[in-house]
Amino acid sequence: MVLQRRSFMAFASAGCLCGCAGAVHQLPQIDGGNLSLAQSEVQAAGGTPSRHQVSDEEVRQILDAALARIRPAATQLCHEMQVGVCVWQFRLSSDRSLNANASPDGVITVNRGIVEYAQNEEEVAVVIAHEIGHQAANHVATGQRNQQVGALAGAILLGALGAVAGYYARDTSGTMAGQAARAGGQLGAAVGRISYSKEQEREADYLAAVILYRSGMDLDKARGFMVTMARASGRKETGMLDTHPAGPERLAGWDKAVAEIRASNGRLPQRA
Ligand SMILES: [Zn+2]
């Protein structure tokens, strides 16, 4: 009886935390028309995008140059939002897949692959600005919390199953249930990580567009990277699918965001 009550309370709090972990701002919705336009554009753009040869020196130069252009506006935006981490540490990974990420303590890692696929400085800037968006909106902390909630829910579920199995096996040591709980925790953590992304990914794109707009950068040039990611999203090699929605939906969301940002002259949307 006591155990059941505890389990229920743990699930109830898990539901609350998941509900609190959406986007900070109200984001524009995409409709079927936006999506089908994006789909035909991506299809017309052709299959797998190609990477180009760049030296280590060139990779560092383009990352530094792109960062220098967006940094003042990004810092200002972060302080205006007042919810996330505004001191960032940038790292370059030699990973050639099309990905970047934001992790605790303001760490932003950009893969070499981003620069290999990017066609101009704006495309590199939009990726860095997207990761800054995750930091500025405090997605990293809420994402970690979701991961823990996922681990907790998984542990409770499989732990309960293990307890039942133990009962039928007349095993009073609790070892079996303990093992099941540990396995369940790992499973739940993986599920928690995936479900954390979607809303917050759209918000990170929106914030990236605001940062580039306020930096006086060409949003239409930056848009090319959304097309590249959508083209690459059908391929297993990208690595992007693990953590980012990269299909035509993302391109459609970008276009909606940019239209809104241009109309508002770079203002942040209302809080959610
Ligand atoms: Zn992201």
Averaged over 219-229, what is the pLDDT? 96
Averaged over 159-184, what is the pLDDT? 47
- Is the distance from CB of 112 to CB of 98 less than 8 angstroms? no
Q: Read off the pLDDT band of 144 (50, 70, 90).
A: confident
Q: What is the percent of the chain where pLDDT is above 90?
A: 55
Q: Residue 132 C-alpha to ligand 1 middle, in angstroms? A: 9
Residue 46: per-residue pLDDT: 84
Averaged over 43-60, what is the pLDDT? 93
Give the residue among 206, 214, 211 at the shortest CA–CA distance from 252: 206
Q: Residue 127 C-alpha to ligand 1 middle, in angstroms? A: 9
Q: Residue 58 C-alpha to ligand 1 middle, in angstroms? A: 24
pLDDT at 17 over 50: no
Q: Residue 89 C-alpha to ligand 1 middle, in angstroms? A: 16
Average pLDDT, the chain: 79
Q: Residue 167 C-alpha to ligand 1 middle, in angstroms? A: 44
pLDDT at 188 over 50: no
| More confident site: 158 or 271 | 271
Residue 232: per-residue pLDDT: 87
Residue 14: per-residue pLDDT: 38
Q: Residue 157 C-alpha to ligand 1 middle, in angstroms? A: 29
Q: Read off the pLDDT band of 170 (50, 70, 90).
A: very low
Q: Residue 228 C-alpha to ligand 1 middle, in angstroms? A: 16
Residues less than 5 Å from ion ligand 1, measured at CB: 201, 204
Q: Residue 183 C-alpha to ligand 1 middle, in angstroms? A: 28
**Residue 131 to residues 67, 89, 99, 136: CA-CA distances in angstroms?**
12, 11, 10, 9
Least confident range from 81-95, 167-181, 246-260: namely 167-181
Least confident range from 22-31, 83-92, 238-247: namely 238-247
User: Contacts from 234-239 at CB under 8 Å and sequence distance 24+?
Assistant: 234/47, 235/48, 237/97, 238/97, 238/98, 238/99, 239/95, 239/97, 239/98, 239/99, 239/111, 239/113
Q: Residue 195 C-alpha to ligand 1 middle, in angstroms? A: 13
Residue 172: per-residue pLDDT: 45
pLDDT at 192 over 70: no
Residue 21: per-residue pLDDT: 62
Residue 189: per-residue pLDDT: 44
Q: Residue 243 C-alpha to ligand 1 middle, in angstroms? A: 7
> Phi/psi class of residue 111: alpha, beta or left (left: φ > 0; alpha: ψ in -120 to 50)?
beta
Q: Residue 33 C-alpha to ligand 1 middle, in angstroms? A: 24
Residue 64: per-residue pLDDT: 97
Averaged over 109-125, what is the pLDDT? 97
pLDDT at 12 over 90: no
pLDDT at 161 over 90: no
Least confident range from 158-167, 202-211, 215-224: namely 158-167
